[in-house]
Amino acid sequence: MARHAAAPADVFCELYRALLPALKTPPSMSVLAEIIDDPPLARHAFRRLNASALIDEPGLLAFLQNVHAVLNDLAGEALANAYFNRLEHFITTYNLRYELRRPCRLYPTLPGLFAGMVQGLRDTHAGHPHLHTLQRDFDDAFRDLHDKGGEGRIKTCLQKHINLLEALGRVHPQVDEYALSSICDQLPHWPHIKVRQSLKNLYSFTCDYPGIRHGGKPGSVEGKIEMRDMLALCILFTGFTPYLTDRLDAAALFQGR
């Protein structure tokens, strides 16, 4: 962007100034004054910054959105629009968890929120030995399907997923049950009985279908378990995790935190 025909010489001075709220350790007032009054120094200081210098992802998002207004004030629509197009290309190329809309606003996507939720769960499980072990068991079973599928491995994957969900719900301070159906009855924050019942029904399926959690009820089977079932059920089970744990902040996930 600095090489754009419309870019003024002091573009990095203003970019550095705009980035200040996102920095973990902003420079002193005297150092800041020196940087923003010296274009070559500002360019050097800006280019030296990396991810470790930033407070968090929302801070970076705020900066990326604010840059458009900064460039528009500096050099008008030509430079601001060029920045918008480059930012859009960057997000599209690297498949980030956001979409860009005019004038320059970044909005989370549903796949991005889902990925952020899963990563958030992994991060919390890492500090809990029991949950970490069950997460690893599920991950191993899931990866095994890539090398060699089959109904038996799908059932194992679903069983490991239920084990993880039960352990996650069991950690909740208001829960003292062990079976997922009973855990659901003790958890708060369900918006409607039908939502709670839907997870309980899915759990009942894993108990009734032969070979997932128990010997099951062969007479209840309507079809063979296939990869479509594994995909749908794993997505559904993961989608219920915000009800099973108080370790996730859904509002913060939506804001990129």
Burial of 162 (0-12, 13-18, 19+ CB in 10 A): buried
Instruction: Flag whether pLDDT at 84 surpasses 80.
Output: yes
Q: Are residues 66 and 181 in the same domain?
A: no
Please give the pLDDT value at position 17. Answer: 95
140 and 233 part of one domain: yes
Which of 41-50, 109-118, 190-199, 234-243 is predicted least confidently?
A: 109-118
Tell me how many domains the chain contains.
Answer: 2
Q: Is pLDDT of 257 > 80?
A: no
Q: Is residue 250 part of a domain?
A: yes
| pLDDT at 64 (0 to 100) | 96
Of 63-67, 93-97, 126-130, which range is least confident? 93-97
Q: Is residue 1 part of a domain?
A: no
- Range(s) of the domain holding residue 56: 11-108
Domain check: are 101 and 163 in the same one?
no
Task: Taking residues 49-66, report their average pLDDT.
Answer: 93
Residue at which a domain ends, from 56, 85, 108 = 108
- Which of 108, 143, 176 finishes a domain? 108
pLDDT at 83 over 70: yes
Asked whether residue 2 is domain-assigned, the answer is no
16 and 62, same domain (yes or no): yes
CA dihedral over 54, 59, 60, 63, signed as positive or negative = negative
pLDDT (0 to 100) of residue 128: 93
Q: Which residues contact 55 (CB under 8 A, 6 or more apart)?
A: 22, 23, 24
Q: What is the DSSP letter of 51?
A: G
Residues 157, 118, single domain; the answer is: yes
As given in the structure block, the two tokens for residue 240 are 């219920």
Q: Which two tokens stand for residue 163?
A: 């084990």
Percentage of the chain exceeding pLDDT 90: 85
User: Do residue 139 and residue 249 come from a single domain?
Assistant: yes
In a domain, 3, yes or no: no
pTM: 0.82
Check whether residue 127 and residue 97 sit in a common domain: no
Residues 93 and 123 in one domain: no
- Cα separations (Å) of 244 from 91, 103, 190, 199, 214? 32, 38, 10, 10, 23
Q: Does 82 map to a domain?
A: yes
Do 103 and 118 lie in one domain? The reply is: no
Q: Looking at 108, 125, 151, which one is the last position of a domain?
A: 108
Note whether 248 and 174 are same-domain residues. yes
Q: Write down the residue that tokens 């049950």 correspond to.
A: 177
Residue 98 covered by a domain = yes
Together in a domain, 127 and 147: yes
Please give the pLDDT value at position 231: 95
Considering the domain boundaries, does residue 219 fall inside one?
Answer: yes
Q: Are 82 and 11 in contact (CB under 8 A)?
A: no
Note whether 123 and 248 are same-domain residues: yes
Instruction: Decide if pLDDT at 212 tops 80.
Output: yes
Q: What is the mean pLDDT of residues 27-35?
A: 95
Q: What is the pLDDT of residue 256?
A: 61
pLDDT band at 95 (very low <50, low <70, confident <90, very high): confident
> Is residue 6 assigned to a domain?
no
User: Mean pLDDT over all residues of the chain?
Assistant: 94
Q: What is the pLDDT of residues 142-185, one digit of tens each?
A: 999 998 889 999 999 999 999 999 999 999 999 999 999 999 99
